[in-house]
Amino acid sequence: MCIGVLLGGILSEKSIGGAMNRTNEKTWIYAAILLAVVIVATGLTQVATLSGTMRDEAVPGGTFVSLGMLSVYVTVCAIGGPLGALVGSVGSLFGCLIASIWVKGATAYCIPAFLFMGGIAFFMELMLKKDNSWKGLFKLGMYASAILLVAFFLYYLIFMGDYDVAAKSLPINILQFAINSLVAVPILKMMTVMQNKSRAGKVSA
């Protein structure tokens, strides 16, 4: 219920398509709250599903699953623009740092999480502006999942030099990104409907 009230307040401050009003105090408050949401969703829900080592066994690592991607979807739709992307990327970074307290090897994903989630957030912003229909949102989830799947696969393979983890991570990440995207679609649809109503109310006023 608290999240619903928060989103209602945010959506009343912004119009459809991810374009924010002038940055103000409320916007920064919402951004701070959503930053905490991304950190919690990325860090506190992170679970190791495939343990191992990378880069010639010098770095502990593996494959981890979390609700981080879902929280980035919501953040971008709620506040949009560069600020939404920044909140998503910084939240993902600190989420990995927090997860490393109990999940061995999570620190290996701090930088890629920052870069990949920031990049995917900008992509989400562009896609939401073009089409926020049910079909468009399903496309968004599919494309975002595919991009992240390839990005993390190449990270395992090239930068961390672990072919075994790269191969075994594919089905796990496919499932993880698919679940995050499918859960996000009805949430994003609800948010865009709220944005449309807010915009219509302002025009009629």
pLDDT of 12: 47
Residue 136 and residue 10: Cα distance in Å, rounded? 22
Q: What is the mean pLDDT of residues 35-39?
A: 95
How many CA atoms lie within 13 Å of 139's alpha carbon, on the beta-carbon side?
Answer: 11
Q: What is the mean pLDDT of residues 9-34?
A: 63
pLDDT category at 10 given cuts 50, 70, 90 is: very low
Residue 175 and residue 33: Cα distance in Å, rounded? 28
State the Cα angle at 68 between 146 and 57, rounded to 5°. Answer: 75
pLDDT category at 86 given cuts 50, 70, 90 is: very high
User: Is residue 4's pLDDT more than 50?
Assistant: no
Residue 128 and residue 71: Cα distance in Å, rounded? 15
β-strand partners of 68: none
- Following DSSP, what letter does each residue of the chain receive, concatenated? -HHHHHHHHHHHHS-TTS---S--HHHHHHHHHHHHHHHHHHHTT-EEEEEEEETTTTEEEEEEE-SHHHHHHHHHHHH-HHHHHHHHHHHHHHHHHHHTTTSTTGGGGHHHHHHHHHHHHHHHHHHHHH--SHHHHHHHHHHHHHHHHHHHHHIIIIIS--HHHHHHHHHHHHHHHHHHHHHHHHHHHHHHHHHHHHHHHHHH-
pLDDT of 109: 83
pLDDT in tens, 93-150: 999 999 888 777 778 888 999 999 999 998 988 888 888 889 999 999 999 999 999 9
